[in-house]
Structure 1
Amino acid sequence: MLIFDNSVNMLTKEEIIKIFIDEFNASKERKMMLDGERYYRVENDILNRKMIRYEDEKPVIDETKTNNRLAHGFMHLLVDDKVNYLLSKPYTLTCDDEKYLEAVKQTLGKRFQKKLTQLGTEASNKGIAWLHVYIDGSGQFKTMKIPSEQCVPIWKDNDHEELQALIRYYDIEVYEGKEKKIVTKIEYWTSETVDYYVMENGEVILDSEMYLDGENNYDGHFKVNDEPGSWERVPFIPFKNNDYELPDLQFIKTLIDNYDLTRSDIANELEDIKNVIYVLKGYGGQDPSEFMRDLSYYRMIKVDADEKAGVDKIETTINIEAAKEHYETLKKDIYDFGQGVDKSQDKLGNNPSGIALRFMYSGLDLKCNAMEDNFKWAFEQLIYFVNKYLEITKQPVSDKEIKIVFNRDIAINESQAIIDCQNSKGIISDKTIIANHPWVEDVDNEIEQIEKESKTNELPMFDEE
């Protein structure tokens, strides 16, 4: 459905853009995006916890109360493990047309490997990552990762595979005289054009500055030889974390929050209790703030008593074993439901077998499979834009398919892998054995080096007379 067809919808384009932005700002999806990035930065909810007391049956913040706020970086560890496992090793591109393949590699550039890892982190934290393709002022093909919380996709289909349009909005700082203010810029991208707006007094209006600038005043996505052109598609590519576009935090947030909370509470108890409390009989009571101050500093409290003044001792204990069991269970749940790998030494052992490692990495493999399938689909969309750029710049384009292979950084028992390679001699090809040797990074270079050394060894040690 063409939602901007004014013959059907009496709202203006600007009004509909504002509706989409307002709905996205209030959505659970955008909130989870921001939460995912916060937890990746270890800015967990526990850091905002306030301790309260009651005065006249009303809660007030108690600054004197012990308030340890222990934020644990589970999200950071799980996301980095996943991205490094799937995307840290150089990807491989294959195609039957070598000349075309080289042109694609040159167009993407050497930095695209780094861009993939950035997209992997963004998608893991926010459920979806967006790659914007464009042609820069010098005519070069470029890509740029756009923060997902800035992008409002308008899909043509329920499967979220084809874009009708995309709204990007973001804040910038500008100066009006000596006064600094925040301005919300808005871009509305279609398959043919891009329109520029700003948010002013809660209304979406055309950005006059962009249209006064001659560089941006054209009907299309880019200029080539001063002629306007378009990609004929919305130039944004979705790199999805999974089919449901859910961030990794969705599955473990409550577990991390409880881990943070209980660890912080135990830390508070250890700091407050000090194991022994002295009770002074015959002394007047104190208000709560004095009570906490005396307990923390003097390690004693004053109470009213009809009996003769004296000192009693109250020894308190914390069930550390029960607390530890709860923490370990929570930690196991976080790694199980987060599909991560707990690399604690007592879990792995000193020399885990290949079978044990494959079992431990099975959850991570399943999680990476979902991302890999979606990233391969996104790469196919990227190749469309690369081909379009090659056509524009009069470079060779082929109908041969280009495939991308993500080379996972698989954990192995290195000694066992070397023995397996040695035992495979004569059963499979030498090239396959070399490719699976844990010390080899570049198979072709290794084969070339072996051939050089083999020729060198054939030479005589001394000149024959």
Structure 2
Amino acid sequence: MIFNNNVNILTIPELIKIYIDEFNVSKERRLMIEGEKYYKVENDILNRKMVRYEDERPVEDETKANNKLAHGFMHTLVDDKVNYLLLKPYTLTCDDKEYLKIVEKVLGKRFQKKLTQLGTEASNKGIAWLHVYIDSKGQFRTIKIPSEQIIPIWVDNDHEELQAVIRYYEIEVYEGKEKKYVTKIEYWTADNVEYYVLDNEKREVILDAEMYLDGSSSYDGHFKINNTPSNWGKVPFIYFKNNDFELPDLQFVKTLIDDYDKTRSDVSNLLDEIKNVVYILKGYGGSSLSEFVRDLAYYHGIKIDPDDDAGVDKIENNINIEAAKAHYEALKKDIFDFGQGVDKNSDKLGNNPSGIALKFIYSGLDLKCNALEGWFKWALEELFQFVNIYLGITKQHVSGDKEITIVFNRDIAINESQAITDCQNSKSIISDETIITNHPWVENVDEEIKRIKKENKPDEPPMFKEGNQAGDE
């Protein structure tokens, strides 16, 4: 990581400083921040100010109505996508059952939840990062790192192989009674990790003295086994991409959401500011407008001067609600179309849509999930490599030549009654196990088969016989 052009030599701290400065002002990081903000419904409309001009200069006008209506489209789109693909437990299969059980045990039961968190992170920020490490008790652990804290240094232009990773983040520290913020920096390679801090006064990256108080060098690897430094042999960070371009979902609908927020807020402001009827008084006999309003409300009449031109006219100021509504509906449709989501309030769904209709309605969401699924499978295969390294270090069962197959069980919307009828009609055509697998009420196929065997009702032949495979005669 040292460049030498025979004129200048960049040291690692200088190189880290360049990367951080560039990343801080990059479009990629800005999109990450915006993606998370819109997911939390902290849309740009919340920063809008109403202005007036004084001496041709804009001045904030706090007297005008300024309703800020932020709509949670991104929260809905992202949650629907992540729940559709990742909410249901994934399935791992392998020819070596013993090895598979060990891998599942190493990952732990909570990894399913972590996978959904990675899905949300990737959808909001274009890419999510998982850090693998061995804790002080020698256990394999993973942790999701916020994407805006990670600067990847890639080997290739396709962004598939890591050369190094820079992680930087702020922490609060106290000098006496004064609170300050310190930027901590970690520089990870395939062999080791080095720790730095950003000197805010000199704007330089320097070694973090606190991390080396025990006298350890900067080449002590990633972890220690029996007090012996060791490493993974590869950068211990795994990327989970949202799509090939590492773009957040917000990128495709932000302008549409902003316009929806703006126009809905503008109409709300108009409703606050205008009156439907403006009265024009000619020869009014009262003393003030407040008296006019009072007399009109109480007596349903007013007094006027005896003058030929005296009278009361009115101007009705109406909003074209239908035009505004048409614009909202068009925007809403565009947001779900280009965001590849499913508008559950759409008339297309109807009361009881058929299976074919549901597949068509969910086709956009399926396509979006395909991109996420492909990269997540890639990432999990990388994770299994780290698990294999860990099993080798701890001298457990290793089966590196056995491939683990990953299946994401999508939470597909179905017409339940139709699905049950199809299962009944499939009897004697396909295996009973396949029928049970596709029955909408079954969550765990193996458990359901065990229950059927246990019941063994005397008045009807059992679906499964001991010693036979599902569907065998």
Distance 1:225 1:315, change over 3 A: same
Give the CA deviation at 1:235: 0.4
Residue type of the alignment partner of 1:244: F
What are the Cα deviations for residues 34-86 of structure 1, in whole angstroms up to 9, with x where unaligned?
00000000000000000001111111000010001100000000000000000
> 2:118, 2:68 → 1: CA distance?
31
Query: What is aligned with 2:2?
Result: 4
Question: d(CA) in 1 for partners of 2:57 and 2:158?
Answer: 50
Cα offset, 1:311, TM superposition = 6.0
Q: Is the 8 A contact 1:210 1:216 kept in 2?
A: no
Task: Give 1:442's match in structure 2, choosing from 439, 444, 453.
Answer: 444
Provide the residue aligned with 1:138 in structure 2.
137
Separation in 2 of the partners of 1:164 and 1:128? 17
Q: Secondary structure at the match of 2:456?
A: helix
1:458 shift after superposition: 8.5
Match of residue 410 from structure 1? 412
Quote how far apart the aligned CAs of 1:4 are. 2.5
Q: Deviations over 1:421-459 (max 9, x none)?
A: 000000000000000000000001101100110167689
SS at match of 2:171: strand
Q: Which runs of 5+ in 1 are unaligned?
A: 284-307, 460-465
Alignment of 1:204-243 (within 5 A): 204-213=205-214, 219-243=220-244
Q: How far apart are the structure 1 equivalents of 2:163 and 2:310?
A: 82
Residues of 2 paired with 1:199 and 1:452: CA distance?
A: 66
Task: State whether structure 2 residue 127 is matched by structure 1 residue 125.
Answer: no
- In the TM superposition, structure 1's runs of 4+ consecutive aligned residues that sit over 2 Å from their partners are 3-9, 213-218, 277-283, 308-314, 455-459
Question: Which one of the candidate residues 426, 429, 452 is aligned to 1:424?
Answer: 426
The match for 1:289 is none
Moved more, 7-16 or 36-45: 7-16
Alpha-carbon deviation of 1:315? 1.3
Residue 147 of structure 1 pairs with residue 149 of structure 2: no
Q: Within 5 A, what are the aligned runs for 1:60-75? A: 60-75=59-74
Matched residue type, 2:385: Y
Deviations 1:373-427 (A, max 9, x none): 0000011111110000000000011110011110000000000000000000000
Q: Which moved more, 1:215-224 or 1:129-138?
A: 215-224
Task: Quote the Cα distance in structure 1 between the aligned partners of 2:259 and 2:187.
Answer: 41
The alignment's TM-score, normalised by the length of structure 2, stands at 0.89
Aligned residues: 437
8 Å CA contact retained: 1:6, 1:12: no
Aligned AA (2:2): F
2:187 corresponds in structure 1 to 188
The answer (yes or no) to whether the contact 2:238–2:379 under 8 Å persists in 1 is yes
Q: Distance in 2 between matches of 1:173 and 1:405?
A: 42
Conserved? CA contact 2:240–2:379, under 8 Å: yes
Q: Does 1:391 align with 2:396?
A: no
- Counterparts of 2:426 and 2:271 in 1: how far apart (Å)? 58
| Counterpart position of 1:53 | 52
Map 1:20-419 onto structure 2 (within 5 A): 20-200=19-199, 201=201, 202-213=203-214, 219-279=220-280, 312-344=313-345, 346-398=347-399, 399-419=401-421
Q: Distance in 2 between matches of 1:271 and 1:77?
A: 29
Aligned residue number for residue 298 of structure 2: none
Residue in structure 2 matched with residue 296 of structure 1 by the alignment:
none
Deviation at 1:279, TM superposition (A): 5.0
Contact persistence 1:252–1:338 (CA under 8 A): yes
Q: Which amino acid aligns with 1:14?
A: P
> Residue 292 of structure 1 corresponds to which residue in structure 2?
none
Amino acid at match of 1:436: N
Query: In the alignment, does 2:450 pair up with 1:452?
Result: no
Contact 1:221 1:228 in 2 (8 A): yes
TM-score (norm 1): 0.90
Query: Which whole-Å CA distance do the structure 1 matches of 2:233 and 2:459 have between them?
Result: 59
> Deviation per CA, 1:2-30, whole angstroms, max 9, x where unpaired?
x4245776111111100000000000010
Does the 8 Å CA contact 2:94/2:405 hold for their aligned counterparts? yes
Q: Contact 1:166/1:188 (CA < 8 Å) preserved in 2?
A: yes
Q: Which amino acid aligns with 1:430?
A: D
Give the secondary-structure state (helix, strand or coil) at the position aligned to 2:348: helix
Going from structure 1 to structure 2, the CA distance change for 1:164 and 1:309 (only over 3 Å counts) comes to farther
Cα separation, 2, equivalents of 1:214 and 1:93: 44
| Counterpart contact for 2:69–2:261, Cα < 8 Å | yes
> Alignment partner of 2:352: what SS?
coil
In 1, Cα distance between equivalents of 2:232 and 2:280? 79
- Is the Cα–Cα contact under 8 Å of residues 124 and 248 in structure 1 kept in the other structure? yes
Counterpart amino acid of residue 258 in structure 1: D
Aligned 8 A contact 2:85 2:410 in 1: yes
Moved more, 272-281 or 75-84: 272-281
Classify the secondary structure of the residue corresponding to 1:431: helix
* Distance (Å, rounded) in 1 between the aligned partners of 2:369 and 2:23: 28
Report if aligned partners of 1:187, 1:194 keep a CA contact under 8 Å in 2.
Answer: yes
Report the Cα distance in structure 2 between the residues aligned to 1:110 and 1:91, rounded to whole angstroms.
11
Give the whole-Å Cα distance in 2 for the aligned partners of 1:440 and 1:366. Answer: 26
Please say if residues 341 and 360 of structure 1, whose CA atoms lie closer than 8 Å, have aligned partners that are also in contact. yes
Amino acid at match of 1:421: C
Q: 2:418, 2:184 → 1: CA distance?
A: 57
